[in-house]
Structure 1
Amino acid sequence: MSTSASKPFTFKEFSIHQDRCAMKIGTDGVLLGAWASLDHYPDSILDVGTGTGVIALMLAQRSNAQTIDAVELDDNAFEQAAENFENSPWGDRLFCYHAHLYEFAVEIEDTYDLIICNPPFFEKNLSAATVSDVQSRSVADGAAQNARENARFEDAMPFELLVGAVAKLLSPEGQFSVVIPYYREEDFKLLCSRADLFPTRITRVKGTPTSEVKRSLMEFRFRESETTPKVSELTIENSRHNYTSEYISLVKDFYLKM
């Protein structure tokens, strides 16, 4: 789901302005914000690469966490997320840092009970035609395109950096929740295992009953569990705009028409 950038995206309990954000509100972020478990009652939450701030705001709605921090590198997205936080019912619990994740991880001494991230993961393998098209844009269009690319391409936040930062910033009993492409699932699990982070829950997401699995919602904790991760599958639509009951149950507290 997406909306026009010129007007705010209105959820049931808050609104998001996104006209200055390279990456707009999409299904991945909303799914992750609704799916992430709060069963361990986190008192402190960190949203990495917050963008519009939608995931942090969803977690503010869902939890009683007193500290909900977000970190964002892009200038415009940082400013807009901060404004979205201030204009929400939970402005006193939300704070956005303008920093690179590496810089943030090095400087912050506190740890978080929940770290959540909808990371950039489109690999930068542009075709010659695409490169030519980008180079031919106006300066203004080119700047906007660059912002979109930085928000979408993994080299703006390598998975290695993300996992390393999580390993430093996550509390011993904390939880890390993330959404990644399904085809990267095994690689990501291996990377996390090297930081002593192990999966406890995985939900694989597909658009329709007949389509391929595209995304993996994953939850990690320190120390390997004696049991295998709880694995499930989520289908979003039975047909165009005919949403499954499982999807509706997950997001109905947020979307106005659910």
Structure 2
Amino acid sequence: MKEYLKYPGEHIDDLLCDNLKIIQQDGAYKFAIDSVLLANFIKAGKNDRIIDLGTGSGVIPILLCAKTCAKEIIGIEIDEAACSRAKRSIKMNGLEDRAKIICADLKKAPKIFGSESFTVVSANPPYMTVDEGKISPNQSIAIARHEIAASLRDVVSTASNLLTFGGKFYMVYRTVRLVDAICLMRSFRLEPKLMRFVHPKFSEGPNLFLVMAKKGASSGLKMLPPLVVYNADGSYTDEIIKIYFGSQ
């Protein structure tokens, strides 16, 4: 590992998957389990071209290099500091031949790459509108948590524009906005086909959901068994351990 890849105030975390690592900044937004769950939920073959909208630290493209055999995986991120870390993480892991990070507004992705240029689009969008909660003074955290740089509508409409007919959109989002998400996807010709609720514990209701929507598909939604994160004693469930430590 070359030390010049890590700048002052940064640290390197182990992703616990195929010896992959990621550079993160102290005091900035750090990826959480939702990104890991989304990366594990995504299915892609060797001929697929993937783009991750609002990629942040680049954790999803990095994990997808291990969990799929997709030929090309792109992450687009508006925050320059996060984009720099993501690019260096790609280089640190030796993934330049498959993964690439672009520093740009995700809403401009169709102009950058062209419409209908990807077969798979993924996103872990900001969970809160600008009217919810307190917006962090830290730009990195604010952009990741609140719809400052991109709204849910922006993400869904961009995904639809980028996808080929029959292409798949994968997203993780919070359950309180489930109806908003489904309505938006349908309005942009993205039909939800697969969904899984994520429960913090067996005794608690879901707080997140994973969804796969297909562009131009007919209606018909399949519900997968619930995914539970923690056992009663606070330890990870067997499935979460498998997700963290295994490759698909």
Taking structure 2 as the reference length, the TM-score comes to 0.87
Secondary structure at the aligned position of 2:108 is classed as helix
Secondary structure at the aligned position of 2:110 is classed as helix
Give 1:118-197 correspondences, 5 Å limit: 118-125=124-131, 142=137, 145-197=138-190
Root-mean-square deviation (Å): 2.2
Secondary structure at the aligned position of 2:56 is classed as coil
The aligned counterpart of 1:91 is 96
Asked whether the 8 Å contact 2:165–2:216 carries over to 1, the reply is no
1:59 aligns with 2:64: yes
Secondary structure at the aligned position of 1:154 is classed as coil
The aligned counterpart of 1:43 is 48
Over 3 Å counting, the alpha-carbon distance change for 1:108 and 1:21 in structure 2 is farther
Computing the radius of gyration from Cα coordinates, the structure with the larger value is 1
Deviation of 1:126 after TM superposition, in Å, equals 6.0
Selected match of 1:19 from 15, 25, 35: 25
Question: 1:41 & 1:204 partners in 2: Cα distance?
Answer: 28
Deviation of 1:91 after TM superposition, in Å, equals 1.9
Selected match of 2:203 from 174, 188, 210: 210
Deviation of 1:124 after TM superposition, in Å, equals 2.8
Question: 1:168 & 1:83 partners in 2: Cα distance?
Answer: 29
The aligned counterpart of 2:6 is none
Selected match of 1:7 from 5, 11, 25: 11
Question: 2:244 & 2:72 partners in 1: Cα distance?
Answer: 23
Give 1:7's aligned amino acid: H
Instruction: Flag structure 1 segments of 5+ consecutive residues without an equivalent.
Output: 135-141
Q: Deviations over 1:121-180 (max 9, x none)?
A: 1233466xx68xx7xxxxxxx4xx233112210232111111111111012121110011
Question: 1:83 & 1:21 partners in 2: Cα distance?
Answer: 18
Over 3 Å counting, the alpha-carbon distance change for 1:72 and 1:165 in structure 2 is same
Selected match of 1:228 from 205, 215, 221: 221
The aligned counterpart of 1:70 is 75
Asked whether the 8 Å contact 2:77–2:102 carries over to 1, the reply is yes
Deviation of 1:41 after TM superposition, in Å, equals 4.8
